[in-house]
Amino acid sequence: MSDEQELLKRRIAYIDALRGLYRLERLIGFLLILLGVGLTLGGWFVRPWPHVMITIGWVLVAIGWVLFVYVIWRRTAWRKANPFESWTP
């Protein structure tokens, strides 16, 4: 196998490892955002819906986005601590 192919395989493994970091947290954040949007829209279009449900919806959307920002921050920190040149699978 040539050096170029080996480098490509290492790079693909590195990117796969980076993409796999904090997958559960990203999924939870995404589901919280969807649930929050659902509660907010439900509160706007359903009359007997309590007003507190809209507030809970916005809070869930905010928590979901905070979780997304946390994941981005943690993955960036991992990327800086594990540069590709020194990484081995």
Tell whether 86 is covered by a domain.
no
Number of compact structural domains in the chain: 1
Q: What is the pLDDT of residues 2-59, one digit of tens each?
A: 888 888 888 898 899 889 999 999 999 999 999 999 999 988 888 787 888 889 999 9
Classify residue 36: in a domain, yes or no: yes
Q: Is residue 52 part of a domain?
A: yes
In this structure, are residues 39 and 63 in contact, taking their beta carbons and an 8 Å threshold? Answer: no
- The token pair that represents 43 in the structure block: 């509160």
- What are the structure tokens assigned to 39, written together? 């509660």
Smallest CA-to-CA distance from 60 within 45, 74, 80, 41 is with: 41
For residue range 69-80, what is the model confidence (pLDDT) as tens digits? 999 999 999 999
What's the confidence (pLDDT) of residue 89? Answer: 66
* Domain interval for residue 69: 23-80
Q: What's the DSSP call for residue 87?
A: -
Closest by Cα among 55, 29, 54 to 42: 54
Is residue 12 assigned to a domain? Answer: no
